[in-house]
Structure 1
């Protein structure tokens, strides 16, 4: 959620820090700040609002070769200059930037206040700066030792970077539940909460694990545990480059990432489909045919769009493999004391691989002996490392807060998982070949939907005045409707509700009137007549209808029709979802919304 950038080297730190913050803007934030050491002093500049407002305040030259920076998403205290990071101790010696939530912050602040410390912000982070300063005053031998001692008093999650004005050649970083990555340059080192801030400078990175610290200097880094045990962390090379985070002629990242979906799906399929045996190869699962046959149930765990992708995946598994499957919000999983079945395959879904609720669900499963695989888009992420096996999405970097290409690649990956599970059971070779061909055709089908952009934009314009909208679907169309409502809510701020079509007459039908458009997902499948009946019920009560379909509807039945091509029925929801992405996008643009950075939201949710 929040963004962290740190630098130590030979260059002027502030341009590096601010450029890094700019690349992390997509994560969501409400204030920004930097701190550098200049002539033995920590110089801090902060601003509530966007990074550009911070940039506007940095008019006075402050050359320095070391510094830390932050974009804050408020958890403790309102967005303001005072609550923005970095935070200092009372003497201005220690500066700290922090992602996460300190759960015992109230107690720590009270203890510091009783000791005579004057706290100047409402944040949990400020307490960490004072704790570190106290440990140094008490004789801690190094900054790393002081940070370690302070963190032993802290309960909660953190990704943090610490700067000491008396040690202007080193940074100390630590991680527990919130990502921290080191970037290795030539005679310089970088720190960030996301590789997006690093790839402009280096592709060699080190991912810290939970409970791990690092001391970073221009030419070296040293890692250790919270218990002061040295660890060995070898750099890895990420396949992302700076151009992945550029608009490339598109008006915004959401539009760019929707346009990249055909290519992203091709990457997800590459080398994974087997026409000869009509199956899929997912070597990252680490499961042979015997282990796959032993799976008696599949449960998908994710948050937001990842959860809805899991629902689509559950439908695919039940249809193709005939194994009971369902999806559940990862945020609720560990709190209900779940029964963990050793014969169930759990699938943890996260675009970033750092979603805290999903990571906590994985840890709960591992603690109880569950078999869990990951479906993530970031190699080396926390969920990927915790699971140890799974499916890499190959969607490429996703910058816009609203997930499009990653969500699509999730469902494509689950279709391959369902095909694989089906073919080791009773799915016939002929049916397998049909699904393989259907998967091969997906990039072209998605390209066709994207080519209908102008028509969908006109539909959006006609309904841009709506204050509320229904999204309706049955069975295959139900998760599509839920994802469509999610997209509309998060980027347009229009209130949207998703319902199973059959539930409409059990209460929600009371809300239908001329000002309540209904978006009805109508796949050309065995439930077509049922879905047509739903539309008739809405029209009989004066409700406008937008049908999203690949079927031939009776003329005049719906007020607007968004058409997609026919394909294999099991895979049609993937293409229908792309059409709803475009509808939500154009409604949001028509309303003048910032589609890449919707209010109150963040790309990678690393707090509860």
Structure 2
């Protein structure tokens, strides 16, 4: 959930490190810092609480050096202040470490170091690693890092400088992403390719238990036990411009506006008109294996979990396979029965979400077949699973997910259609769903053209201290995601319930001061949903409906185009993303960097 960037080469490191941190700031933004090998032997470091711009304003004019590491932090251990910002140094100031992850046995190690007379300067778990490396007497920096990691329990992605080894950076990974960037007479290391693509698109992704040594002209990798490895470089498909604002005021607005093109990308090259199905070669599962699936279990966290709920409904409706979704963070801690006939699907925008990755690893240990639905090629979940579907949403920089959520829901429609046509879904129904999929990009564009109406409504509802979101069956996952979006980005309290559950308790909350957003797809439950509106209206509750036609009992209705009923949730969520965005804008929130949140949750 923090950002790492490192550089070694012939250029001045500090400007490159600051640029990389700015591109990674969505991963952590409560403090930042950097350390470089100075031209005079030794290390120089600077760090500051706050944003990268606060760090930049504190840098001395003379901060020269061609090798350095930097970090932007999302606090886990210790308050977000200068002392707890990374990099952390050892007692001599000759070792600097930046670290993503959590060291589980940090308390024991801190106590042991303190007993040996070491004065700890921060409240962080990371500092112990700097001291352990600094106290090692091994001959090489790699050996010193390896020795220190032998004392560590937990997760880490690290980069290390040592004043005694000015020609190298050592990096290591266990549970937190580390990517190497290969340049011309220069090398980079980062926790995310976003920090690299302005300078190189040739990358190497480290596996768990792998280390790397970077020099200006080369790199080499090995396991943390010392055995050499040879990972092949890959070409990143996203260009540096993909991470620019492109004329928008915020990344969230940009990414909402990109959804028509993003959905077109996830469909491109996958539709098979001849057999009324889709090609998903990445599943690595033939028709016989697909027919053997007796249940589908979808695992994800946050927005990925909500997309999984939509996916489970699609699988049941189109493939007639029992399916459900569960938060990966809960699944991994219960003693779940792992059925060999169940297909497990792990969902993650980043492909690095720790709770989801841990669930995948537990499932693989028990012999389950696991697919991944992820956005980032070569990510940990993509590598650990047996196959899967890339959602091709493009980079998503805003902390809250919008276009990736939408593309994930569409990817599940593709998976459900694929499974359905292998089983009992008719050709005519396959063609109907394909026609609906092809209509989605233009229908999304149509919704986005109505942004001004949504802006006006957001200004009207922004003063509410709390909001209720309700939906039934297909509408319920949309209500959950819309509620989450509003909470994340505007800090307005919101709750989501199945509309059928309203009268079983939550109806007690309804009053004139509590607006309700009702998601009303035009399906066979429409009249029951209208009855829910009657219940709310009878108690004086304001109603904003989202559906395919104006609702008499609603104070306002956001009308979205009709698609096939199974695909309507994809469209119903889009205006509610804009509602959350404009509510946050009205309230003056920091939209791309909501408080307390980070983009890629790589810790527990």
Q: Is TM (by shorter chain) over 0.5?
A: yes
TM-score computed with the length of structure 2 as normaliser: 0.99
- Match of residue 330, structure 2, among 321, 329, 332: 332
CA distance in 1, matches of 2:575, 2:430: 26
Q: 526-535 or 386-395, which moves further after superposition?
A: 386-395
2:550–2:557: 8 Å Cα contact kept in structure 1?
no
Q: Partner of 1:251: helix, strand, or coil?
A: coil
1:523–1:551: 8 Å Cα contact kept in structure 2?
no
2:369–2:386: 8 Å Cα contact kept in structure 1?
no
Deviation for aligned residue 1:37 = 1.4
Residue 236 of structure 2 corresponds to which residue in structure 1?
238
Deviation for aligned residue 1:552 = 4.5
Residue 401 of structure 1 corresponds to which residue in structure 2?
399
CA distance in 1, matches of 2:75, 2:591: 20
Residue 558 of structure 2 corresponds to which residue in structure 1?
562
2:101–2:176: 8 Å Cα contact kept in structure 1?
yes
Deviation for aligned residue 1:29 = 2.3
After TM superposition, the structure 1 = structure 2 runs for residues 380-419 of structure 1, keeping only pairs within 5 Å, are 380-419=378-417
Residue 592 of structure 2 corresponds to which residue in structure 1?
596
CA distance in 2, matches of 1:423, 1:245: 38
Residue 4 of structure 2 corresponds to which residue in structure 1?
4
Residue 573 of structure 2 corresponds to which residue in structure 1?
577
After TM superposition, the structure 1 = structure 2 runs for residues 528-543 of structure 1, keeping only pairs within 5 Å, are 528-543=526-541
1:216-269 superposed Cα distances (whole Å, 9 cap, x missing partner)? 100011101111111011211101111001001011101101111111101100
Q: Partner of 2:565: helix, strand, or coil?
A: coil
1:395-415 superposed Cα distances (whole Å, 9 cap, x missing partner)? 001100111111111000100
After TM superposition, the structure 1 = structure 2 runs for residues 271-290 of structure 1, keeping only pairs within 5 Å, are 271-290=269-288
Residue 307 of structure 1 corresponds to which residue in structure 2?
305
CA distance in 1, matches of 2:113, 2:335: 36
1:522–1:551: 8 Å Cα contact kept in structure 2?
no
1:254–1:404: 8 Å Cα contact kept in structure 2?
yes
CA distance in 2, matches of 1:210, 1:450: 42
After TM superposition, the structure 1 = structure 2 runs for residues 316-327 of structure 1, keeping only pairs within 5 Å, are 316-327=314-325
Q: Partner of 1:145: helix, strand, or coil?
A: helix
Deviation for aligned residue 1:60 = 2.2
CA distance in 2, matches of 1:238, 1:470: 42
1:83-137 superposed Cα distances (whole Å, 9 cap, x missing partner)? 100011101110000000000000000000111111111100000011011113x
Q: 422-431 or 206-215, which moves further after superposition?
A: 422-431
1:30-57 superposed Cα distances (whole Å, 9 cap, x missing partner)? 0000101111121110100000000001
2:351–2:379: 8 Å Cα contact kept in structure 1?
yes
2:259–2:441: 8 Å Cα contact kept in structure 1?
yes
CA distance in 1, matches of 2:54, 2:271: 49
Residue 102 of structure 2 corresponds to which residue in structure 1?
101
1:369 lines up with 2:346 in the alignment: no
1:265-316 superposed Cα distances (whole Å, 9 cap, x missing partner)? 0110011111221111111001111111111111110000000000000000
CA distance in 1, matches of 2:29, 2:589: 16
Structure 1: gaps spanning 5 or more residues: none
1:474-496 superposed Cα distances (whole Å, 9 cap, x missing partner)? 00000000000000000000000
CA distance in 1, matches of 2:122, 2:550: 61
After TM superposition, the structure 1 = structure 2 runs for residues 46-195 of structure 1, keeping only pairs within 5 Å, are 46-136=47-137, 140-195=138-193
Deviation for aligned residue 1:59 = 3.4
CA distance in 2, matches of 1:247, 1:114: 51
2:29–2:52: 8 Å Cα contact kept in structure 1?
no
Deviation for aligned residue 1:551 = 3.1
CA distance in 1, matches of 2:464, 2:63: 50
After TM superposition, the structure 1 = structure 2 runs for residues 28-39 of structure 1, keeping only pairs within 5 Å, are 28-38=28-38, 39=40
Residue 267 of structure 2 corresponds to which residue in structure 1?
269
Deviation for aligned residue 1:197 = 0.2
RMSD over aligned CA atoms reads 0.7
1:320-372 superposed Cα distances (whole Å, 9 cap, x missing partner)? 11110000001111110111111111110011001000100100110000010
Structure 2: gaps spanning 5 or more residues: none
CA distance in 1, matches of 2:110, 2:332: 29
CA distance in 1, matches of 2:462, 2:296: 40
Residue 507 of structure 2 corresponds to which residue in structure 1?
509
CA distance in 1, matches of 2:293, 2:440: 28
CA distance in 2, matches of 1:112, 1:66: 29
CA distance in 2, matches of 1:28, 1:89: 23
CA distance in 2, matches of 1:594, 1:92: 36
CA distance in 2, matches of 1:437, 1:551: 22
Deviation for aligned residue 1:600 = 0.4
Deviation for aligned residue 1:438 = 0.3
Moved over 6 A (4+): none
Residue 461 of structure 2 corresponds to which residue in structure 1?
463
CA distance in 1, matches of 2:601, 2:113: 30
Deviation for aligned residue 1:388 = 3.9
1:28–1:600: 8 Å Cα contact kept in structure 2?
no
CA distance in 1, matches of 2:464, 2:149: 50
Deviation for aligned residue 1:28 = 2.7
CA distance in 1, matches of 2:270, 2:61: 55
CA distance in 2, matches of 1:28, 1:521: 33
Aligned length: 603
CA distance in 2, matches of 1:607, 1:517: 35
1:298–1:323: 8 Å Cα contact kept in structure 2?
yes
CA distance in 1, matches of 2:489, 2:28: 13
1:353–1:382: 8 Å Cα contact kept in structure 2?
yes
CA distance in 2, matches of 1:134, 1:552: 70
CA distance in 1, matches of 2:500, 2:429: 29
CA distance in 2, matches of 1:26, 1:154: 27
